[in-house]
């Protein structure tokens, strides 16, 4: 409760206190209180005592002249409501005296709600410029004369100013801005003096004693605790003998509670004050008055001025608030003062047992910390918070067990809080310079391990030591092989010399003979798990480290088993495959392969080939036969490999068959893998052709893989002919001792083809697309025929950073793992609701669902327009998840809950004396200051639930201010909003509550010069520091005030081609889900109308136009600047323009590029042009955003890339 004036939540407090007794009815303000009702408004520039309206026409006529007395709406405006929608005329008069139109003139015609200024009718409240004047010399009445270079104003002495009731007068100038102004009393007194030029006014302004300001000048709030024996106190104030307030004995003070009285001085910002009751006086006679400024109080001879949050008796209730709410009185006798019950415990000060449970309020323990409310008041702790000092120990624990100070988080002041010292076993009452401790993890993971670290640190470092669970399922999913428990992150400020990590695991794991625990360091940059030198003692694994990072315990056996050592292959890459099987059908095959195994393994291999593979089959014995008629599709090749086509007879002419196979290959490009798989079981009769066949194979860029069946060894046919045939053409050779061994050989050949082939051109070989293993041992299955497996617009090869290779000692074997940028099998790798392709927009981490660690997922923050990269944007010490739970703004600094009341009460008691600058709570007090009785304010406060930042109880009260007070409140709110237009969250939070609790104030905002100007400026300022909810409230208020014309909206101000209705408010959904709903609505993927959800970049073909659909939430922070918005749109266009270059990696016989989609070829022949279809919400946007979108569309007109905008509702 100590500190400077507090900046608090305006909207909640304003709604809370804009109340008055329910018996006071508010006038209709929207012109439609019932069927056919019309409200007529009149501005009284003449200063009439009682404005009346006489109405007639179409069956309606006032009962008698002068008609009906009009309702005072404040600031010179009056209104009357009549049930007559058409053909109505009206005359205005001062209770039948002066009138206009003049006598015998027809009344002004009215067709709908109307505002009259003089004889000019307006269809909405006209904009004007307010001028305020303080009647310093006590004229009693004030008139305003104004003029400009372009026009003369009213005739002298000018128009009447309207008394605000506290010495201030207000008038509104319509149609003349800027203007020069003079004030007078209607007689001889005026300022500036006669003959002098009027003061130039360009915007709302205040004049007090010749000094002009653009905000209301400060006053002084004085509180006086009446001494025993005094009557009703009065206050006398002055600045000098010649400049005083009301004559002695001064003005009566207003009784607040328990002998406390208050008075607001509006004439001065600094003054001297004396108190008296006609018989007593302080200071004593002839002594100068007390110096007063700001908020001042007198109590038992003590005089002080200063902070409204001062808590002189240290009872947890600010003195200002305590005075108003009953001070030290204990009405119900429960031992708790009334003010303490109202503010600190939320109990009823008139009932000793508020909840009727048989336990007196003083003996209750609402926070469950083991201390009663009486205990907490005596100690000074918060009865509604179990841990007042926030050190992790309850107030009861600190008071009865640890004997630490519950009001200080670090009792001994050595920098380490009490909880940690208790947890570490050190003495929290004796300061230490160094700490040699074993610190456990702050949060417990999913069983299996207890984690701690043993380390010696100086106190300054020890205070920052932190061990907590590293919750990132992208890197450490539940199904990670060998994972024990969770990964943990160890952090400390600065460096550590040496520390011992301790992972205690479930003892039952030791019963598994294969269990081999190891602590691993997670090298996040390289995406590696590095095993540490781990010591296992019982069920605890330990490792010594010299730096802190992220560590995890794994079962080494299971973890290692998730990786496999593979043969080292070449690093050539191809995106198409041509293969010819050359198969021995000689007589010896009847004995060596009677079951025709050679054919079944070949058929299986054909089925595994990449989808675009062209295959041929050549059978040989004495001669060679092409069974497929050249290269063909997979099914034709399988048919050719049928057992019936092979007869097991004749001799062997292998080279002749290989030469025939060479003639079947097509093209000579380097992007196609051309290979022959030749199988034979013995000597061939045409070995003379060896050299020419090898030369021809190398010329045609054909690799020959040779498979021998039986009969190996030195000098055998396999060693002399088949191995050289393979090695001299870049192929591999294999020897099967019998036909059953062919399975493994053909499996290996298939792997070789896959490793050397990248069918979809995404940079990842086909084999790894089928068998990709990550650093954590988790396997991913990609689509080797689709370069973008998950269809998120990012090719698989760009989601996998690279393949990492770990070789054995002689480099004949290798383990290959993929390094993730994002997960190529998931559109949203981290599951936060934002597609990987979109995460760079809000600059979030696509592999971390909560980039800023504030307890809210990135997707949830983006959906609400919170900042997903900052846990506490407003720096008030309350993370975004807390702000969301409390319904407060992440962009408005919030003080402690009951501190806000101190600010409010100062404003409520002081009225308008304090400048309504950047302190919204004090402004709320100003607005309520003269509206309701003090007792009603007390009742309102008593009903508020402790810690309820939204003040929901008051929202349901249904009590509204009188019309005139509503207009004044709207004027003050409008000025505040205008001053804070560059920080609109304050205004939005105010308006959010006003919409529900004080609609009459919102309705009057259209008459506030400040709000009108703020509405006009809203489209010129950025909306980035507004949550979506706050922006909606602000826009709603502008519309309700009749100022929608000032807003720039996407639906009205952009060239919108169509509006679609998805059947729900998709813009309240997470980013990814919203996109899916809109995508399905426009493209119909589930019905087959679209290209499919995982089709890259584009979404549908429509009238030979290739269409890509994107949705952009123009309320999101990412799109509040034209540069970032254009960058996103340019990326979409670039992706669509480069679609063919990125994804069409096949070429047909006619030279046309294409890609495979399923089993179909997708070529550019299917479309003539392209369209980027962008879908927005219908929302308010900035002028610069609107112009950027219009310009973007113009720039692409006639380019073959059509830009179309649509609205989704």
Confidence of residue 1023 (pLDDT cuts 50, 70, 90): confident
- Using CA atoms of 777, 783, 786, 791 in order, give the dihedral in degrees to the nearest 10: -70
Mean pLDDT of all residues in 599-617: 91
Highest mean pLDDT among 418-432, 1133-1147, 1148-1162: 418-432
292-306, 412-426, 762-776: which range is least confident on average? 762-776
Residues above pLDDT 90, as percent of the chain: 53
Return the pLDDT at 1001: 72
pLDDT in tens, 444-502: 655 679 999 999 999 999 999 999 999 888 899 999 999 999 999 999 999 998 999 99
Per the CB < 8 A criterion, the answer to whether 518 and 457 are in contact is no
pLDDT at 807: 72
Query: What pLDDT was estimated at residue 949?
Result: 46
pLDDT in tens, 56-65: 987 788 889 9
Q: Which range has the worst mean pLDDT, 31-40, 699-708, 1028-1037?
A: 31-40
User: Mean pLDDT in the chain?
Assistant: 85
| Burial class of residue 1181 (count of CB atoms within 10 Å of its CB; 0-12, 13-18, 19+) | buried
For residue 454, what are its two tokens? 């043993």
Helix (H), strand (E), coil (C) string for 977-1046: HHHCCCCCHHHHHHHHHHHHHCHHHHHHHHHCHHHHHHHHHHCCCCCCCCCHHHHHHHHHHHHHCCCHHH
Q: Where does residue 377 rank: exposed (0-12), middle (13-18), buried (19+ CB within 10 A)? A: buried
Residue that wins the pLDDT comparison between 1016 and 586 = 586
Q: How far apart, in whole angstroms, are the C-alpha atoms of residue 636 and residue 736?
A: 27
Name the range with the highest mean pLDDT among 517-521, 669-673, 786-790, 855-859.
517-521
Cα 186 from chain centre = 58
In the numeric block, the tokens 């808590």 are attached to 311
pLDDT for position 9: 29
Tens digits of residue pLDDT in 139-198: 999 999 999 988 888 999 999 999 988 899 999 999 888 999 999 999 999 999 999 999
Domain ranges of the chain: 31-112, 423-462+473-561, 574-756, 766-838, 1052-1208
31-112: in CATH 2.60.40.10 = yes
Question: Does 4 score more than 50 pLDDT?
Answer: no
Which of 16-20, 378-382, 602-606, 994-998 comes out lowest in average pLDDT? 16-20
For residue 26, pLDDT over 50 is answered with: no
| pLDDT above 60 for 45 | yes
Side-chain half-sphere of 776: how many Cα atoms within 13 Å? 24
pLDDT value of residue 419: 94
Read off the pLDDT band of 1093 (50, 70, 90): confident
> CATH top-level class for 574-756?
alpha beta
Burial readout 931-957 (b: 16 or more C-beta within 10 A, e: otherwise): bbebebbbebbbbbebebbbbbebbeb
pLDDT tens for residues 801-854? 877 777 777 766 777 888 888 999 999 988 888 888 887 666 789 989 999 988
pTM for the complete prediction?
0.66
Query: Looking at domain 1052-1208, does it have CATH number 3.40.50.300?
Result: no
Contact 652, 684 (CB under 8 A): yes
Give the span between the Cα atoms of 619 and 650, in whole angstroms. 12
pLDDT of residue 32 exceeding 60, the answer is no
Of 920, 690, 1108, 1039, nearest in space to 8 by CA: 920
């Amino acid at each position: 409760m100590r500190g400077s004036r507090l900046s608090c939540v305006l909207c909640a407090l304003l709604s809370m206190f804009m109340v008055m007794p329910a018996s006071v009815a508010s006038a209709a303000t929207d012109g439609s209180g019932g069927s056919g009702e019309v409200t007529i408004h009149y501005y009284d520039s003449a200063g009439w005592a009682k404005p009346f309206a006489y109405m007639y026409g179409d069956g309606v006529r006032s009962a008698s002249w002068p008609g009906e007395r009009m309702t005072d709406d404040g600031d010179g405006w009056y209104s009357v409501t009549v049930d007559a929608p058409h053909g109505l005329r009206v005359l205005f008069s001062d209770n039948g005296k002066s009138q206009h139109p003049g006598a015998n003139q027809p009344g002004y015609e009215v067709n709908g709600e109307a505002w009259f200024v003089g004889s000019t009718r307006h269809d909405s409240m006209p904009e004007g410029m307010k001028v305020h004047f303080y009647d310093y010399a006590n004229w009693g009445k004030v008139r305003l004369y104004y003029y400009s270079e372009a026009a003369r104003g009213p005739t002298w002495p000018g128009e009447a100013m309207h008394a605000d009731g506290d010495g201030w007068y207000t008038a509104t100038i319509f149609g003349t801005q800027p203007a020069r102004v003079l004030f007078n009393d209607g007689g001889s007194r005026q300022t500036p003096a006669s003959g002098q030029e009027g003061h130039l006014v360009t915007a709302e302004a205040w004049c007090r004693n010749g000094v002009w300001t653009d905000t209301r000048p400060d006053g002084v709030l004085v509180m006086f605790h009446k001494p025993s024996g005094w009557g009703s106190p009065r206050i006398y104030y002055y600045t000098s003998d010649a400049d005083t307030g009301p004559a002695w004995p001064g003005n009566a003070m207003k009784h607040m509670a328990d002998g406390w009285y208050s008075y607001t001085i509006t004439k001065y910002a600094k003054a001297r004050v004396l108190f008296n009751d006609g018989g007593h006086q302080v200071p004593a006679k002839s002594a100068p008055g007390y110096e007063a400024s700001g908020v001042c109080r007198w109590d038992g001879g003590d005089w002080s001025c200063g902070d409204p949050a001062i808590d002189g008796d240290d009872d947890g209730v600010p003195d200002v608030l305590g005075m108003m709410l009953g001070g030290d009185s204990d009405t119900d006798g429960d031992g708790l003062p009334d003010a303490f019950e109202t503010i600190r415990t939320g109990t009823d000060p008139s009932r000793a047992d508020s909840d009727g449970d048989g336990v007196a309020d003083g003996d209750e323990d609402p926070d469950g910390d083991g201390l009663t409310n009486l205990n907490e008041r005596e100690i000074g702790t918060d009865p509604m918070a179990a841990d007042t000092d926030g050190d992790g120990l309850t107030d009861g624990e600190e008071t009865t067990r640890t004997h630490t100070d519950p009001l200080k988080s670090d009792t001994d002041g050595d920098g380490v809080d009490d909880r940690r010292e208790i947890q570490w076993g050190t003495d929290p009452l004796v300061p230490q310079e160094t700490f040699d401790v074993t610190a456990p993890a702050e949060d417990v993971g999913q069983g299996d391990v207890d984690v701690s670290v043993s380390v010696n640190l100086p106190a300054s470092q020890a205070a920052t030591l932190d061990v907590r669970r590293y919750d990132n399922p992208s890197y450490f999913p539940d199904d990670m092989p060998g994972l024990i428990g969770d990964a943990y992150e160890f952090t400390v400020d600065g460096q550590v010399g040496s520390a011992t990590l301790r992972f205690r695991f479930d003892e039952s794991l030791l019963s598994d003979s294969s269990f081999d625990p190891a602590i691993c360091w997670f090298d996040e940059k390289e995406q590696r798990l590095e095993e540490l030198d781990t010591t296992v003692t019982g069920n605890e694994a330990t490792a010594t480290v010299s730096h802190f990072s992220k560590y995890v315990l794994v079962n080494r056996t299971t973890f290692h088993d998730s990786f496999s050592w593979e043969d080292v292959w070449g690093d050539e890459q191809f995106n198409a495959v041509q293969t010819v099987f050359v198969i021995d059908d000689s007589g010896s095959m009847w004995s060596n392969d009677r079951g025709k195994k050679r054919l079944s393994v070949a058929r299986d291999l054909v089925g595994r080939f990449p989808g675009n593979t062209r295959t041929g089959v050549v059978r040989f014995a004495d001669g060679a036969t092409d069974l497929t008629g050249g290269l063909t599709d997979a099914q034709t090749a399988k048919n050719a490999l049928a057992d019936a086509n092979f007869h097991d007879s004749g001799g062997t002419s292998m080279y002749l068959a290989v030469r025939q196979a060479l003639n079947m290959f097509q093209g000579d490009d380097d992007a196609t893998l051309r290979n022959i798989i030749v199988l034979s079981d013995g000597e061939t009769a045409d070995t003379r052709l060896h050299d020419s066949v090898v030369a021809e194979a190398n010329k045609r860029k054909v690799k020959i893989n040779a498979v021998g069946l039986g009969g190996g060894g030195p000098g055998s046919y396999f060693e002399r002919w088949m191995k050289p045939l393979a090695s001299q053409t870049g192929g591999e050779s294999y020897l099967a001792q019998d036909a059953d061994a062919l399975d493994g050989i053909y499996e290996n050949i298939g792997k070789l083809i896959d490793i050397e082939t990248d069918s979809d051109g995404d940079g990842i070989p086909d084999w790894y697309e089928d068998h990709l293993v990550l650093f954590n041992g988790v396997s991913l299955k990609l689509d080797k025929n689709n370069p973008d497996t998950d269809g998120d617009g990012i090719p698989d090869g760009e989601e996998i950073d690279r393949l990492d290779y770990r070789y054995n000692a002689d480099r004949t074997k290798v383990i290959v793992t993929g390094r993730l940028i994002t997960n190529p099998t998931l559109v949203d790798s981290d599951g936060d609701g934002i597609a990987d392709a979109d995460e760079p927009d809000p600059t979030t981490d696509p592999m971390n669902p909560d980039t800023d660690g504030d307890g809210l997922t990135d997707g949830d923050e983006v959906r609400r327009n919170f900042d997903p990269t900052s846990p506490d944007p407003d720096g008030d010490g309350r993370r975004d998840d807390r702000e969301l739970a409390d319904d407060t703004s992440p962009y408005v600094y919030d003080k402690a809950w009951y501190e806000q009341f101190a600010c409010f009460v100062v404003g409520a008691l002081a009225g308008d004396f304090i400048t309504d600058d950047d302190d919204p709570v004090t402004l709320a007090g100003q607005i309520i200051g003269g509206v309701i009785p003090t007792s009603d304010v007390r009742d309102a406060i008593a009903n508020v639930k402790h810690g309820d930042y939204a003040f929901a109880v008051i929202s349901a009260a249904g009590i509204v201010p009188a019309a005139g007070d509503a207009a004044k409140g709207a004027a003050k709110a409008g000025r505040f909003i205008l001053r804070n237009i560059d920080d609109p969250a304050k205004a939005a939070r105010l308006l959010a509550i006003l919409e529900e609790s004080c609609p009459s104030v919102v309705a009057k905002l259209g008459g506030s010069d400040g709000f009108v100007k703020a509405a006009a400026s809203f489209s010129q300022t950025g909306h980035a520091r507004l949550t979506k909810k706050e922006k909606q409230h602000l826009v709603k208020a502008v519309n309700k005030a009749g100022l929608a014309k000032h807003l720039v909206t996407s639906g009205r101000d952009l060239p919108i081609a169509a509006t679609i209705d998805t059947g729900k408010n998709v813009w309240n959904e997470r980013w990814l889900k919203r996109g899916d709903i809109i995508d399905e609505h426009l493209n119909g993927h589930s019905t087959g109308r679209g290209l499919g959800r995982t089709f890259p970049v584009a979404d549908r073909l429509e009238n030979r136009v290739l269409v890509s659909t994107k949705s952009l939430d123009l309320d999101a922070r990412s799109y509040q600047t034209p540069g970032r918005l254009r960058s996103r749109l340019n990326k979409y266009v670039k992706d669509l323009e480069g679609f063919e270059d990125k994804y069409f990696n096949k070429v047909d016989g006619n030279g046309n590029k294409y890609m495979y989609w399923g089993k179909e070829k997708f070529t550019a022949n299917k479309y003539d042009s392209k369209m980027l279809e962008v879908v927005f919400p219908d929302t308010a946007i900035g002028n610069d955003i609107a112009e950027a979108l219009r310009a973007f569309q113009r720039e692409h007109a006639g380019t073959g890339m059509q830009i179309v905008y649509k609205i989704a509702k």
